[in-house]
Amino acid sequence: MRASTATLWLFVMATFASGALRATDWSTLFTAQDVHDYLATPEGRVRALNFCRRMGLSKVYVETFRDGYQADAETLCTARDYFRQAGLQVSGCVTTTQLGKPSTGWNIVACYTHRANQERLAGVFAYAAGFFDEIMIDDFFFTDCECSECAAARGAMGWREYRKKLMLDMSRENVLGAAQRVNPNVKVILKFPQWYDTFQERGYVVDKESALYDRVWVGTELRDPASDRWGHKQQYEGFFIFRWISDIAKEKTAGGWFDPYGTNPTYYLDQAYVTVLAGAREGLLFHYGALESPEYDAQARAFAARRSELEALSKLVGDWRGIPAYKPASSDPGKEAYLFDQIGMLGIPLLPTARFPQEARVALFTAHALEDVAFVSELVQFLSKGGTAFLSEELAHRLNGDPRLDAVGPVELAKGEYFRKAVMGGGTVVVFSDALPRLTFVDAQNRLAQVTPELGDALGQLRQEASNFAVTLSDASPRVAAFPMGGHVAVMNFTELPVSCRLQGLGGNATRRRQVFRTNGAVLASDGATLRLPPHALLVVK
């Protein structure tokens, strides 16, 4: 056995003895259309089961409704029983698309003010509860409708407040109530999509919905970061949203869900690794019909080849560390949408929280924090106890001149300034320009922004300050991320080039590391400090 492998298994066995080990389980979904196309014949069911075994899946979700189509009862029963007899766990799923009268916004979702849509929604969940004791709700259980019915029903309420109330009412009466009247034992899972910075506009209420539903799931889809169509997503997003929702829903947060769209096999595997690093107890591969098609077969084969590696990694995950990053539930990002994902890709690890981190020594605050009406008072108290507050550029601008802050001079950055550190109210404020997170942006030609000497100096100062409170990457290029967990740190290179970098410990203390896990040629150099990672490789050191 090679030294690196031996080290990994010694670490794994030690963790097992402590009771902390748990491998991620894997599952897939048969959409309502998949049920019709692939599960209606014995040959189709055999092929589907062979796929599950080849991929190492232990559970399947069999969907009853999607895009206006409701699967046939006989086929649903036959497929459910077939998979159960084969030893797989089986649950149901519903996707509330093309339910009836469409929203005036995203027209595949529904207007839930419309009475006929409400009745159809209740009927869809009553139908699903007749087959399954557990039902997942996929994306699109939201509304952005502004039709005349909605305008009349909201009265004096703003659109955001009306949509929150409406979707909570739909959850109680037409989803949970309808399902439980048919099957009192049914459990319903709500899956939150990955676009967390627009939840407040569409009626998602993460804190209240997490309290209502039996479990919640999280979309950890990442896509090609160079894609205009898919919004230039940062791979850190899957980690941030999963840990943020976990902070809200706690033990109810069960799994991560991703798909092959907008990916090649490399980006598809990035999703799998990030989902595992975030702590998902189960990962769902959406969906069978796509992954068995020639278009995405390469993604499926790439996953199957790495599944045992992902299992080994999942046993090292937990006890996340980093700088608390405050995003209240339903908070608006202002001009800083998904800024957290970019900061994480600067090698500065974040610990997402939906509650003000009053007891922490350090915290990161962005424009999202202004959703909390008590934020400035909480910030003053935080600083008075000697805390260090990292402030984004827009938040600093909006705080400037607030008389409650004991500030000598302006809080915001001057023109052309990228970094500022100041003493304030007994604590320390570190203001950074949003130009630093934007260094992680990948354009449609797969290019990154130029790191000028001024930006490079400011980034170095920001990382140096962060290293006083968390293990950071002191010298890595943008798009290399660190994931500290207890006594070890995972580092992943999301760039298309090989990188060499070092971890900077708390207070800048240098230390020798030892390698406990690696992928794709990643290695810890003989000096015990330099990490060498090929493109899209992962290295875990202790």
pLDDT attached to residue 17: 33
530: tokens are 């330099």
Q: What is the percentage of the chain residues whose pLDDT exceeds 90? A: 91
**DSSP structure class, residue 235:** T
Q: What φ, ψ does residue 490 adopt, rounded to 5°?
A: -95, 135
pLDDT < 70 positions in the chain: 1-22, 408, 506-511
CA atoms within 13 A on the CB side of 280: 31
Residue 378 one-letter amino acid: E
pLDDT digits (tens, 9 = 90+) for 29-47: 999 999 999 999 999 999 9
- Other beta carbons within 10 angstroms of residue 187's beta carbon come to 17
pLDDT attached to residue 481: 98
Show Cβ contacts of residue 356 under 8 Å, excluding neighbours closer than 6 positions.
326, 369, 372, 374, 375, 378, 382
**Nearest partner of 217 among 189, 239, 176, judged by Cα:** 189
Helix axes 297-314 and 42-55, enclosed angle (nearest 10): 40
* CB-count burial class (<10 Å; 0-12, 13-18, 19+) for 32: buried
pLDDT attached to residue 487: 87
**Nearest partner of 486 among 525, 542, 437, judged by Cα:** 542
Task: State the virtual CA torsion across 115, 116, 120, 126 in degrees, nearest 10.
Answer: 50
Taking a C-beta distance cutoff of 8 angstroms, is the pair 439, 478 a contact? yes
Q: List the alpha helices (DSSP H) in 229-374.
A: 236-249, 265-277, 288-291, 297-314, 339-344
**What pTM does this model have?**
0.94
* Level-2 CATH architecture, domain 22-314: Alpha-Beta Barrel (3.20)
pLDDT attached to residue 4: 38
250: tokens are 């706690």
Tokens 């990002």 belong to which residue?
A: 333
Give the residue extent of every domain in the chain.
22-314, 323-541
Taking a C-beta distance cutoff of 8 angstroms, is the pair 527, 508 a contact? no
Cα distance between residue 506 and residue 464, in whole Å: 10
pLDDT attached to residue 19: 36
**DSSP structure class, residue 433:** -
pLDDT attached to residue 141: 98
pLDDT digits (tens, 9 = 90+) for 423-479: 999 999 999 999 999 999 999 998 998 899 999 999 999 999 999 999 999 899 999
